[in-house]
Structure 1
Amino acid sequence: TNASFGGATTADCHLDGIIVNPTLYLDDELVIDRGTFVA
């Protein structure tokens, strides 16, 4: 939700979580491989 600072999005619930050992590609380039930065 961002209504508290002027936005239009509201939500009844907000949950945060942790992803263990993520793999992330940005623009088809590997940036994080199983939790380790490679780029």
Structure 2
Amino acid sequence: FEGRYEDALKSYDKALQLQPNNPTVWINRAITLRRLQRS
């Protein structure tokens, strides 16, 4: 998803619906939000 942060964010949101306790997804989602300047 290099440079495609909006697409990455959507994918992480879908992944969290399937695996809400997956810390890797939460971390990657947070990094993506930071790169989008959101939190």
Pairwise same-fold verdict (TM > 0.5): no
Q: Which structure's relative contact order is higher, taking Cα pairs within 8 Å and 6+ residues apart?
A: 2
Larger fraction in strand? 1
Larger radius of gyration: 1
Larger fraction in helix? 2
Q: For the superposition of Structure 1 and Structure 2, which TM-score range results when normalised by the shorter chain? A: under 0.3
Q: TM-score, normalised by structure 2?
A: 0.18
Q: TM-score, normalised by structure 1?
A: 0.18
